[in-house]
Amino acid sequence: MFTSKANKIFQDVIEKYHVINSVDQPFINEYDKDSHLLEHLLYRKCWIDTVQWHYEDIIRDPQIDPVAALKLKRQIDASNQDRTDMVEYIDSYLLERHNDVVVKETATINTESPAWAIDRLSILALKVYHMKEEATRTDASDSHKAACQKKLDILLDQQVDLSSAIDTLLQDIAVGDKYMKVYKQMKMYNDDELNPVLRGQK
C-alpha cells in the first residue's frame, strides 16, 4: 500500500532530523530524484514539515528577541511556500502516473487532492512522534504522561484511518471511480503584483 511506504519515510525523516535536532542542520535527501522520484518528494515534504514544526516551537518563546522573531517569521513564510510547492509536485506526479486511466462517467472528485491528504499524514506523523515523547518523558508527572498517552492513542487511530482513506482514494483514482485535478494555490501574499503592500514598494 502507498501509505505503508509513506509512513515509513515520514518516520525515517523525523528520526533523522532529531539526531542533530536543529532547524539549521543541512538537508540530505536519502532518495535519488531520478530513480526514486516519489520517495524523493515524500522525504523532502516531511523534512520541510519537521523543520517548520520546530520553527513554530521557537517563535512561541515569550523571551524571543523581536528582531529574531521577525527573521523567523520570514523563514516560516518561506517554509509554508515550500510546503505548498511540494504538495503540488506530489499531486502532479500522481496525476501523471494516472494519466492513462479511463475515468468512468460516474466518477466523482474528492474534497481534497491526494497530496493534501498526504500533507496531513506527514503532519500526523510529527504529532505522533512528539506526543510519544511527552507520554514517555521521565521528568513528567504520571498524570501528564497518562493524558498524553490518551492523546497518542487517538493520534495513532487517526493515522490508521487517514492511511486507509488515502489508499482507498488512490485505488479509486487508479480504476477510474475518482478523478483528480491539481489546483495551484495561487497564494497572493508572496506575489509582488498581488500583494498591495509589496506592489506599493516597487
Q: What is the pLDDT of residue 202?
A: 61
- Report CA-CA distances (Å) from 160 to 121, 125, 143, 154, 163: 10, 11, 26, 10, 5
Q: What is the pLDDT along the chain (202 residues), one digit of tens a residue?
A: 999 999 999 999 999 999 999 999 999 999 999 999 999 999 999 999 999 999 999 999 999 999 999 999 999 999 999 999 999 999 999 999 999 999 999 999 999 999 999 999 999 999 999 999 999 999 999 999 999 999 999 999 999 999 999 999 999 999 999 999 887 766 666 667 767 766 667 6
The upper half-sphere exposure of residue 139, i.e. CA atoms within 13 Å in the direction of its Cβ, equals: 0
Q: At 11, list the grid cell.
A: 518516520
pTM: 0.91
